Each structure stands twice: as structure tokens, then as C-alpha cells.
Amino acid sequence: MQDRADPDLAKLRQMEKGVQRCKHKMKAFVRFRDLRQGGARRSFAAWFEPTHHTVEPAAPFFARRFADMDWMIATPDVTAQFVDGNLSFHPGQPKPDLPEDAAETLWGTYFCNIFNPARLKVSAMTSEMPRKYWKNLPEAQHIHGLIAGAEDKVRRMQAAAPTLPPERADKIKRQLRNGSPEAD
């Protein structure tokens, strides 16, 4: 098992890495929608299309993270449900018709506000947020517009940059010239 030159073990490690990456992506890209059924506990549902069978190993993360609510993560192969603190698994299902909720607008607002056009690297972005997940991410509807407007936004940011240093800059420069912060 320790022989790094063994091609079968190398393939197994590569497969393990793919499953771990898919598990990580599931934790990052599941977007719950509020079902608002009026019960004692909040109730949410999400649709996710994993590349590998990662629902069962990832579900305990969601159970810990969202222990105060009932939830369901439906996938084509398996559905995880957390109801009244009990985690269970059921057969997969087609994509359910989930209601839109206010969190979708919030995701879009958050995504647009953390987007830094000056640091745009589309290949890096799509490596971290593969396009296959975009169809189920409410914030993804903003990606094309953010990319298309990035250069113009950078130019506007540069034009709006302050031209005068802050008032304290002169004091700091004097202190540096004099070699002592107490010199002023």
C-alpha cells in the first residue's frame, strides 16, 4: 500500500482524491431552500448532482451544521433526510420542484459583493466552482455579467482611487525620516 510506483495504487489514490473533492464541493455548493411548512422546526430542501457517491459521507456534516432544522438533500442516486434530529437515507429521485426563497437574492448579493474584478482569473474560478454546478447555484446567474463587466469596473475603480494620501501619511513619513515613532 505504500508503493508510490504501483500504478493500481496511484489510480486508487487519484480516485480517492476525486471523491474527497466531490465531498468538499457538496459541502460548498448545496443551496437549501426554505419550505416554510409552519412546523415547530424550520424545514429546508436542496437538490445536488454529485459526481461521486458522496451523500452518505457528507450528510453528517450537514446534520451537525444544521441541527436546528429539518432538511432534505435530494440527488439522482440517494436522498438524505434530517428530521427531528434523525438522519436517514432514501432512494434518489428526480429534481424536485423547490420554491424560490429570499436566500437566493441574498446569495446573489453576497456573490456580487465579494467578486473582485481586479483579481479575475476565469480558469481558477471555474476550477474552484466548476460550471457543472452553476445550474443549481442562485449566485451563478451573475457570473457572466460580472466577468463581462470586470475590465470596465477595474478602470472605474482605478479612476475613483484617492489621489491624496491620508492626513496621517505626513506624520508617518516624518517619523520614519527621524527614525523614531516618538519623534513627532
pTM for this structure?
0.76
Q: Which residues pair with 70 in a beta bridge?
A: 43
What is the model's pLDDT at position 184?
47
What is the model's pLDDT at position 54?
95
> Would you say 147 and 120 are in contact if contact means Cβ atoms under 8 Å apart?
yes
Element (H, E) at 19: helix 7-29
What is the model's pLDDT at position 161?
77
For the chain, residues with pLDDT lower than 70 are: 39, 180-184
125 CB burial (10 A radius; 0-12, 13-18, 19+): middle
The contacts of residue 60 (CB under 8 Å, 6+ apart) are: 87
> Would you say 73 and 59 are in contact if contact means Cβ atoms under 8 Å apart?
yes
Helix or strand or coil: residue 58?
Answer: helix
